[in-house]
Amino acid sequence: MKARRSKATTEVPASSMADIAFLLLVFFLSTTTFSLDQGLLLQLPGQQSEVKRISRKNILVVKALADGSVTIANEFVTVPEIRARITEELEKNPRLVVVIETHPDATYETYVDVLDELRMAKAPRITLKTMGES
């Protein structure tokens, strides 16, 4: 009797492809790290916060305008100048409250840049206002 020869096939066996794909998927899902956005850390007032009257001499308004420009006490400044100006004002008046007044069409980037500069100037009291509020 003649021995049967098995024919060599050119096909790739696909029976274990699903297993391999599943193992790769589990491996990449278990080793991948996801970055979590921190957002802006702001301390918001409680629900029953009391309203305090602040003297106008203790208020400094920083405006973020729609065209990306910034004003401090109605004087145009660049974003890098904010820190030095606020530090100077805080030395004159330690009870200063900085109001960030943002135009509704101002970019979020401008707002965040102003807020970052105020934090680097170590402004202890910052409040937020949208232009048009009374």
DSSP string, 32-68: ---PPP------PPPTTPPP----GGGEEEEEE-TTS
Instruction: Count the neighbouring beta carbons within 10 Å of the beta carbon of residue 121.
Output: 17
Tell me if 88 sits within 8 A of 48, measured CB to CB: no
107 within domain boundaries: yes
Averaged pLDDT for residues 94-106: 89
Q: What is the CATH number of the domain that holds 76?
A: 3.30.420
113 within domain boundaries: yes
H helix intervals, 3-133: 17-31, 79-92, 108-120
52 within domain boundaries: no
1 within domain boundaries: no
As a whole number of angstroms, the distance between CA 57 and CA 52 comes to 15
Widest distance between CA atoms in the chain: 112
Percent of the chain scoring above 70 in pLDDT: 84
Q: In the chain, how many domains are there?
A: 1
**Structure confidence by residue, pLDDT tens digits, 1-49:** 566 777 777 777 777 888 889 999 999 989 988 777 776 666 666 666 6
As a whole number of angstroms, the distance between CA 44 and CA 15 comes to 58
Is it the case that residue 78 has pLDDT exceeding 80? Answer: yes
11 within domain boundaries: no
Q: What is the DSSP letter of 3?
A: P
20 within domain boundaries: no
54 within domain boundaries: no
- The parent domain of residue 77 ranges over 69-130
Please give the pLDDT value at position 1.
58
As a whole number of angstroms, the distance between CA 93 and CA 55 comes to 12
105 within domain boundaries: yes
Q: Is the pTM of this model over 0.85?
A: no
